[in-house]
Amino acid sequence: MSYVTAQAKGKPAGMSAAVIVNGSIVAAIMLSPMVVNTLPDTGRTKVINVEPKTPPPIEKPDLPKVIEDAVLPPVYVPPTPYDRTVPDDPITTTTEFIESDPPIFDGKGEEQGQVIEKIEKLIKPPPPIFKAALRDPRWMKNFQPDYPPRLLQREIEGSARVRVLIGTNGRVRQASVVSATHRDFGKATVKHARAKWRFRPATRDGVAVEDWKTLTVQFTIT
């Protein structure tokens, strides 16, 4: 048996008294009114809805008024270092002054027209040299056409004029009657020209070219 147990058993009245005292204290606490201490205001942040403010109107600056019929100062134009105007001088042309009257001189004793003419002769090529076709002397005996038999029997004389195209080889390429005293004379001449006539061809700068020629043939009875 412990000491505490022995003491409890030995003093029952003391334990009961202790229980009663403790119970009284607890009951007094429970029955006493509650005291609530209010905490002082410590400056808490309050939320306040702030209405947005309308910005003040923008003030427009006062613009200067346009003055009607205002006279502006003249625009400054710097002086030109040289004269850009073209003088009205016929020497500046290339066609009219050649036939000018009186003649224009270039300061060297020669007429300006003559100087231009010399320059044009140097620039322009000379015109081509053309030589017309001629009858070949080697074929002269074959020039006269045969006399039409019907006209010969009737002793009718006359003539025929024909136009022929002479080719580069000297032969007649085309022949046509221009005029004839009788149509048989014309037919005989055209036929004979195409077959027998020979020419020295025409030339241009030494090169053979075609050429037209008109010839007349006389038909006479000897």
Q: Are residues 95 and 158 in the same domain?
A: no
Per-residue pLDDT of 158-197, as tens digits, reads 999 999 999 999 999 999 999 999 999 999 999 999 999 9
Q: Are residues 174 and 105 in the same domain?
A: no
Of 135, 115, 145, 138, nearest in space to 211 by CA: 135
- Structural domain contains residue 177: yes
Q: Are residues 108 and 184 in the same domain?
A: no
pLDDT band at 54 (very low <50, low <70, confident <90, very high): confident
Tell whether the model's pLDDT for residue 3 goes beyond 60: no
135: domain CATH number?
A: 3.30.2420.10
Per-residue DSSP letter, 181: S
- Structural domain contains residue 182: yes
pLDDT score at 174: 95
Residue 97 has phi, psi (to 5 degrees) of: -75, -10
Of all residues in the chain, what percent carry a pLDDT higher than 70?
49
Q: Are 161 and 215 in contact (CB under 8 A)?
A: yes
What pTM did the predictor assign?
A: 0.44
- Structural domain contains residue 36: no
For residues 4 and 10, what is the distance between their CA atoms, to the nearest angstrom? 10
Question: Could you tell me the two tokens for 107?
Answer: 């300061």
Range of the domain at 137: 131-219
